[in-house]
Structure 1
Amino acid sequence: MWNSEIINMLIKGTGETLYMTLVSTLLGYAFGLPMGVLLAVSDKEGLKPNLVLYKVLDFIANVVRSIPFLILLIVIIPFTSFLVGKSYGSTATIVPLVVAAIPFIARMVESSIKEVDYGVVEAALSMGAGTFSIITRVLLVEARTSIIVGATIAIGTILGYSAMAGTVGGGGLGDIAVRYGYYRYQTNIMMVTVLLLIVLVQVFQTVGMRVSERLDKRK
């Protein structure tokens, strides 16, 4: 049963899962971080209140987050095919993963920034700091520990989404679990894929928490 073919398949599946998770997280933060900053800054109690901008971003975030990932994956198949030329496989799965991750990440970034003591912002304003300077040198710096904790949560969530994509040929460990555990009733292979997913989550969690602890100025 546990021949070299199956072992190589599990290794490849683990690599595909890591590829989907890490690339999706990086792209998710490339768009989600700015969106989260804009949400926090444009809120009525933010640095630069802008009701229209906040309502638009808030609406987009709420709409995308309200769509279950599997449905979102299917709905944007034409968009995925347009971008990568196909709708299945690990690379194609990155597209819906990023779309799902952006509003999730944005909300966590928004929450992290809103936790920053406004007294620090007032001090920066009194010294003549501009909006961009306050965002980059005060808000993001003060919120970095919380943002990293949020990134750890985001990676775990995206990893779970990538496994769910296996039900529609998304590749990775989720695809192996569905093909062998569900269709072929080989529960031993499915249990190994579950164990590997748990190990990956624990590794990301441990690394993320240690990094956040090192950057926490309160300790």
Structure 2
Amino acid sequence: ERLEPLLPRVDDPYLHAATQLAMAWTSTMVADVEGALREALAALAEFTSQDEPLGTASAALTVGSLETTTGRYDEATHHLHDARDLGMHLDNAWLAATSQVLLGTLALVRGRPADARALLDEGLDLSLAAYSTQLVTLCLGVFAQLTFVEGNQERSALLAGAADGMRKRAGLRVWPSLRRPEAELTNRLRTSLGETDFDRAFSTGGKLTRREAVAAAHDPDSRR
């Protein structure tokens, strides 16, 4: 609300594009996904026209995430690949890792669990290399969804608990785009496992160290 009236008065091209992107991020937080996508696309066009690789990668990442949320899967694939390639070119571990994890998320929602696991395995390693607890928990949350799809509900609850516990210890919140999917997964797990078994697995996951949680996510036995 404060940024939008300022846009016509922002003369600097980079700052104008950055303001558009900041508006997209805040629109996502208040669940205005379509508005966020319009603002992110505008920022992407502006950064691209300025040949600003870091801004372009950040905007492409945001656009790809929002396109995944709204079911624009082909467009999301294109933008997330662009973001990952730029992140690697810039040697920006955070951008590369986030893009990889979101590509794994995209593969999962498109019904390709094997592809999703390969992408998430690499994404989790990249997240650790980026020294980002936020990214590690993002990846663990998606692994929990994947493991549920693979049929291991107890491991899914364990990983969901690991992501939740790690976030709480670090004082972090769930990514806005994952709040609804994580809540839906929790409800499905409570129903399928029962309250007692879910609480036990989730609580056990919440006590795992980062090393233990990563090992549990990578474990091939989780698919059985």
Instruction: Return the TM-score normalized by structure 1.
Output: 0.30
Instruction: Return the TM-score normalized by structure 2.
Output: 0.30
Structure with max Cα Rg: 1
The structure whose RCO (Cα within 8 Å, separation 6+) is larger is 1
